[in-house]
Amino acid sequence: MVIRSLRRAWQDPFYRHSAVLFSASLIVAFLNYLLHPILARMLPLHEFGDVEALLALYGMLATLMSGFSIATVHASVNCEDKAECSAVVASLQKTALILIGSVFLVLVISSRFLASQLHFSSAWLFVVLGVILFANTLQSFRMSYLQGQRMFPTMSIANIISSGGRLALAALGVWVGWHAFGAAVGILCALLISLAFTSWKTRHALTAHTQGLGKERVREELSLVGFFAISTIFVTILYNTDIIVVKRFFAPDVAGLYSGISTIANIVLFLTSSFAAVLLSSVKRSHNVDERRRAFMKAIKLIGGGGGVFTIVCLIFAAPITTLLMGSRYLGMAYLLPWLVTAFFFSSLANVCINFAIALRQKGLIPLALCVSFVLVTLIAFRHGSPLEIAQNYLIVNILAAIGTGIFISRHLIPEKT
């Protein structure tokens, strides 16, 4: 009976693709997790806090380009002509590289100021960050094309290469005596290796030039980028800005300890993000309500299962989980884990709702995202006296985001009355 059910589930493309991505996500999550305790043991607390904050900044700034990535997925899913799809991607990539080049210049020019404001040990970390962002932009277009074409095994291999290389090369950079800078260079080198792999895999597909598109079509695609970017930046704000906030308001050692706990809580996002990715590439605007609802409910069930179990384990065994995953040095802040893991579980629910809205181009999501983000900024402005208050702020906002986005998309899941 069980085998028969599993066989039926495997025949469903959504579950099959989710299984592939989820399996890869487990490997990637494990490799990404290993990076943090290894660096935590190799680096002083303040330098470990530098690396964690650098990764958080990388996540935030990379999200600025995420609108182009989502537009690439959308084009790959909805364009029947592969030559047209390649031309759209080429047009989006050209614009994205111009923008990320501007961000790189800003990071280089303001590196000393940023290092002093965020208590970084070296301004060179921001220069490396700029190069990482440039390489990530090139990589994201290739990964988005693969996602839109549902080439999930290739995506999975690229992610594993990046995560495994990041672990080995970042540790090597610290071991040779380059400290936090060495870790940052290692992360960059791993990304370049993964980029070489995806470039080879897409060498025939992404060869078109922007001249193949009319100006109206280019404007149409670029007009979607802002909507996609705001939506994905909103997701990033929900789970990837807490470390930067703590880094701003507290001493470097406190930020380093908090970063370790936040890293554990973020595992729930690694475990569930693959389901939202499959949903984004599975829902077309031409689908009817029943098809949309089936795909959405599959993603919710998978998130509730995988993410829910991890969340419950962290709620019950916060101290043992902290000791196991990060070491006894972080036990002093283990009380934050239940707050943060619950917050990030709700952000994973909000994430799947947001990806559903993105797939349907529901631009009404933007006012909701701005309102919830304003609530978070307001809470942080008035409640930042302790790391616990920061964690509570994120729990409140993520619950609001999950409820708000759920209500927003509900009208696209309920059949109209005849």
Which of 56-70, 80-94, 96-110 bottoms out in mean pLDDT, i.e. has the lowest?
80-94
pLDDT at 2: 42
Q: Which of 107-121, 139-153, 177-191, 374-388 has the least mean pLDDT? A: 139-153
Q: Report the pLDDT averaged over residues 136-165.
A: 80
Q: Which of 57-71, 216-230, 376-390 has the lowest mean pLDDT?
A: 216-230
> Between 272 and 18, whose confidence is greater?
272
Average pLDDT over residues 122-141: 85
- The tokens describing 127, both together, are 């220069």
9/230: higher pLDDT: 230
pLDDT greater than 60 at residue 212: no
Query: Which amino acid type is present at position 231?
Result: S
Which one has a higher pLDDT value, 33 or 206? 33
| pLDDT, position 418 | 47
* Confidence label for 6 from pLDDT (cuts 50, 70 and 90): very low
Could you tell me the pLDDT band of residue 392, with boundaries at 50, 70 and 90? very high
pLDDT of residue 202: 78
- Amino acid at residue number 232: T
Q: How many CB atoms lie within 10 A of CB 395?
A: 20
What are 317-369's pLDDT values in tens digits?
A: 989 998 888 878 888 888 999 999 999 999 888 888 888 887 777 777 788 88
Of the pLDDT bands very low, low, confident and very high (cuts 50, 70, 90), residue 379 is: very high
Q: State yes or no: pLDDT of 288 exceeds 70.
A: no
Which token pair is 169?
A: 């090369």
Over residues 29-58, the mean pLDDT reads 78
Q: Is the pLDDT of residue 21 over 70?
A: no
Band of the pLDDT at 396, cuts 50, 70, 90? Answer: very high
SS (H, E, C) the chain: CHHHHHHHHHHCHHHHHHHHHHHHHHHHHHHHHHHHHHHHHHCCHHHHHHHHHHHHHHHHHHHHCHHHHHHHHHHHHHCCCHHHHHHHHHHHHHHHHHHHHHHHHHHHHCHHHHHHHCCCCCCHHHHHHHHHHHHHHHHHHHHHHHHHCCCHHHHHHHHHHHHHHHHHHHHHHHHHHHHHHHHHHHHHHHHHHHHHHHHHHCCCCCCCCHHHCCHHHHHHHHHHHHHHHHHHHHHHHHHHCHHHHHHHHCCHHHHHHHHHHHHHHCHHHHHHHHHHHHHHHHCCCCCCHHHHHHHHHHHHHHHHHHHHHHHHHHHHCHHHHHHHHHCHHHHHHHHHHHHHHHHHHHHHHHHHHHHHHHHCCCCCHHHHHHHHHHHHHHHHHHCCCCHHHHHHHHHHHHHHHHHHHHHHHHCCCCCCCC
The pLDDT, as a whole number, for residue 339 is: 93
Average pLDDT of the segment spanning 55-84: 67
Contact between residue 376 and residue 393 where contact means Cβ atoms under 8 Å apart: yes
Q: Which residue has the higher pLDDT, 12 or 95?
A: 95
C-alpha to C-alpha distances, 146 to 141, 250, 311, nearest whole angstrom? 9, 41, 30
Identify the residue with better confidence: 17 or 26: 26
